[in-house]
Structure 1
Amino acid sequence: MQPPQTNEEKQLDLALDDLIQRVRELKQGVSSFIYKLENDYQNISWPNMMEHFGVLSSGLSSIKRLLKTEKMPLLRNYVLFPILLSPDRDPHLEKLTEGRVSAFNHEVVPDYLRTKPEPEVEEKVQMLSSKAASITPEVAQKQLTMLNKITSNILDIINASSDDWDKDSASLRNALPPTTSQQETAMLIAAVTKGVRLRRQDSQGQMSPAPQMGSMPTQQHQQQPLPQKPQMPGSGIGRVPSAVKTNIKAAVTSHPYQRP
C-alpha cells in the first residue's frame, strides 16, 4: 500500500500534467507544420508561414509563463533517476513515447536522463565561453558598434528596395494594357484599299498575288476576249450553238377573270 501523497506531491503532479498538455499541443502544431511543408508546400504562402510561426511562438511563450508561475514548483530541485532497467521490450513505455523508446535499458538511459550536454557539445561551449571572456570590453564595444552599423545599412537597403518594388507594382497595376496597334491598323487599311498582302486563286488552282491599283485597267483590257466574226449560213464551218434557249408564246388577249 502506497503512502498518501503530500500537498507538494499533488501540486507537482498537477503542474506536470498541465506542462505535458502544453507540450503535447506544441508538438501537434510542429507536426502539422512539418506535414504541410513536406506535402502541401506548393499552396503555402508567406502569410501562412508567418501565421504558423506565430502559433508556435505563442505555444513556447505559454510554456515559459507556466514554468515561471508560483503554482509550478522548481523542477531543478527534483532529481529523476531510474528504478528499474530492463533490456526487454515494454509495450506501455512504447505507447507513452509514441514508439520512440521500446525498452528502458542501459543504452537509452544516459541520453534521456542526461542533465548535462554531451561531451562534444560541452567542449565547444567551453571554447566559446573562454574566447568571449578573452575579449576586452573596448574591443567588444567596437565590434558591437560595427555590427549595428552594418545591420542598419542592410536595413536601409532593404527598405529602399521595398519602396521601389511598391512603386513599380503600383505603376503596373495602374497602367492599362494597350488596345490598339498603329502597325496593324496601317496593314488593314493597305489591305482594304490596295490589296496589300492579299492573294487570289487563278484558274489552275494556284495562289497568285492580287493586282495593284495602277495595273488593274491594263490587265482587265488584256483579259477581255476578242470579238468573233459572224459565220455565213451554208459555210463549211459549223454554227456554234447558242447557250440561251427561248420559248415564245402568243399573248392572251382575254382576261383570266373575264365574265362569261
Structure 2
Amino acid sequence: MQREERVMDATLDAVLQRVVDIKGSLQELLVKIEREGEQGDWPSYLNSFSVISAQIYTLMKLLKNEKTPILRNYLTLPLQLNAESDEKLLVATEGRVPSFSHDFVPNMLRTKPEPDMEQKHQALEAKMAQVNSDTAQKQINIHNRVVKHVMDLVNTAREEWETETAARTSQPQTCSLNETQILVAALGTGKGFKIRAQPPGPSPTIQQPPPQISTASKAVSAVKTNIKAATSIHPYSR
C-alpha cells in the first residue's frame, strides 16, 4: 500500500511539472501575441507552437506509460473544508481560489460536465433515439466512407511527397558551387591564372621594308627639266 502511494505521489509530481511547463509556454505565447500583434515574427510563433506540441506529447507519453497508474481508477475527495483564506492554496492557484470552502468544492472537484454541456448532450442523445436504426447505420456507413476517402487522399499525397523528396535527394550532383565560384572569379578578375616570365635577352626587332620611290615624283621632275630646256632656245633669236 505504501509503495502504491509513493508511486502515485511521484506520478502526480511528474504530471504537475509537465502541466506547469505547458502553462508557462502558453503564457509566454500569449504575452508575445499581445505585445507584437500583427507585426509578430511568424517563425518565432511556429517555434513556440513546436515547443508546446512537444510538451503535450511528453505529458501524454507519461500518462500512457505502463508504470504510470491509471488515474481514472482513483477518486479525489476533500479531506478538510475551511472557509478561511489559505495562503498556500492562494499561491498554488495564482490567486484564483482563496479558500477551499463549500462554494468551490463542486467546481474544483466536478466529475460531471457543466449544466449547459449536459443539456446539449442529453438533447443529442434524444435526437439519436428518434432516428431509425437502419437510417442511423446508413449514415454511419456513409460517414465512414467519406472519412476513408479523405484518409486515402491524405495518404496518397503523403506518399507522393515522400517519393518526390527521396528522388530529389537521390539525384546525382551535376554542378559544384565551389567550382562555379572559382570559374567566375577566373573569368572576371583573372584569379588563379599564372603569368609566365619572359626569358632574358635582346628584345626582337621588327624589320621594316625599304622605302619605295614613287614614279609620280620622277615624272614631275622630268617635266620641269624639259620645260627649262625649251625656254632657253628662242625661235626669233637670230
Paired residue for 2:72, among 57, 70, 76? Answer: 76
1:12 equivalent in structure 2 = 8
Corresponding residue pairs, total: 149
Q: Distance in 1 between matches of 2:87 and 2:126?
A: 46
- Give the residue type in structure 2 aligned to 1:120: D
Q: What stretches of structure 2 of length at least 5 have no aligned partner? A: 158-238
Determine if contact 1:22/1:59 at 8 Å carries over to the other structure: yes
1:114 equivalent in structure 2 = 110
The alpha-carbon distance between structure 1 residues 35 and 127, as it changes in their structure 2 partners (threshold 3 A), is: same
Question: Structure 2 matches for 1:1-260, cutoff 5 A?
Answer: 6-131=2-127, 134=131, 136-143=136-143
Identity %: 35
Q: Offset at 1:124? A: 1.1
The alpha-carbon distance between structure 1 residues 143 and 74, as it changes in their structure 2 partners (threshold 3 A), is: closer
- Give the residue type in structure 2 aligned to 1:140: I
Q: Distance in 2 between matches of 1:150 and 1:9?
A: 46
Q: Distance in 2 between matches of 1:57 and 1:131?
A: 36
Q: Distance in 2 between matches of 1:148 and 1:45?
A: 37
Q: Distance in 2 between matches of 1:115 and 1:80?
A: 10
The alpha-carbon distance between structure 1 residues 132 and 93, as it changes in their structure 2 partners (threshold 3 A), is: same
Q: What stretches of structure 1 of length at least 5 have no aligned partner? A: 157-260
Structure with greater helix percent = 2
Q: Offset at 1:115? A: 1.1
Tell me: higher relative CO, structure 1 or 2? Use CA pairs within 8 A at least 6 residues apart: 2
Normalising to structure 2: TM-score of the pair? 0.55
Q: Offset at 1:30? A: 0.5
Q: Offset at 1:149? A: 7.8
Q: Offset at 1:48? A: 2.9
The alpha-carbon distance between structure 1 residues 11 and 148, as it changes in their structure 2 partners (threshold 3 A), is: closer
Determine if contact 1:15/1:71 at 8 Å carries over to the other structure: no
Determine if contact 1:26/1:59 at 8 Å carries over to the other structure: yes
Q: Distance in 2 between matches of 1:112 and 1:60?
A: 23
